Structure 1
Amino acid sequence: MKQIILLLAVIGAFSGVVQAQEKIQVLSTQQLVNECKLPASPESRSFCVGYSTAIYDTYLATRHPKYAKPYICVKQPAPSRDDVIGDFVKFAQMNQAVLDKPAAGVFLGFLASRFPCARK
């Protein structure tokens, strides 16, 4: 029994090392632009809307009035989701230097420039 537990511990430790060496693939801005460009297949549109919505929802969920003040302030009535995504695609295509950067960070930067909060 002790041998089996020891074997499982060794296997677990080895798999942890293997997992630690794996490089996690991050979606690039170019990949997101490719999914969001029109005309889009239903699958691409669903991915684009889901991914971009998740980025913004995560941003909203991580805001704290004291420690993480907002830097994206969407005025109401808000533009349509399709308009914002279309503007993001144009922004990324006009800024070729960001295409190899992680999509989430570039999308948040775009939103911050498109919907800045009022300065106090």
Structure 2
Amino acid sequence: MKKFLLMLAAIGAFSGLAQAEEKIQVLSTQELVNVCKLPASPESRSFCIGYTTSVYDTYLMTRHPQRAKPFICVKQPAPQRDSVIADFVKWAGENPQTADKPAAGVVLGFLAARFPCGKK
């Protein structure tokens, strides 16, 4: 029984080590741009809208208003979603240094540049 438990512990430790060394793939900016380019298939458009919206929604939900000043301020009425995505695709093409960067961070950077907050 002890040998069995030791073997299970060794397998668990090795498994944890293998998982710790596993590289998690993130979506690159170029991959997102390729999906968001128009005209897009319904599936690509849905993915693009879902991804970019979730990045922005995560920003809104995780930024603590008393501890972190906003850096993205979209004035209402907000521009059309497809217009902002087309601007992002164009902007990313003009900034090729972002192509291999994680898309979520680049989307936030783009939104901060496109919708900066005024000084209060």
TM range (shorter): over 0.9
- Length, aligned pairs only: 120
Counterparts of residues 65-104 of structure 1 (less than 5 Å): 65-104=65-104
Q: Which runs of 5+ in 2 are unaligned?
A: none
Q: Which runs of 5+ in 1 are unaligned?
A: none
Shift of 1:35: 0.5
- Bigger mean CA offset, 5-14 vs 51-60: 5-14
Q: Any idea what SS the aligned residue of 2:19 has?
A: helix
CA-to-partner distance for each residue in 1:20-76, whole Å, 9 max, x for gaps?
111111111000000000111111111111111110011011111221221101000
**Counterpart-to-counterpart distance in 2, 1:28 and 1:9:** 37
> Does the Cα contact within 8 Å between 1:62 and 1:68 map onto a contact in 2?
no
Q: Does 1:28 align with 2:45?
A: no
Q: Any idea what SS the aligned residue of 1:66 has?
A: coil
Which residue does 1:112 correspond to in 2?
Answer: 112
**Counterpart-to-counterpart distance in 1, 2:59 and 2:9:** 39
Q: Does 1:3 align with 2:3?
A: yes
The 4+ residue runs of structure 1 with deviation greater than 4 A are none
**Counterpart-to-counterpart distance in 2, 1:6 and 1:51:** 44
TM-score by length of 2: 0.94
TM-score by length of 1: 0.94
Which residue does 1:49 correspond to in 2?
Answer: 49
Matching residue's letter, 1:40: A
Which residue does 1:63 correspond to in 2?
Answer: 63
RMSD between superposed Cα atoms in Å: 1.1
**Counterpart-to-counterpart distance in 2, 1:94 and 1:5:** 58
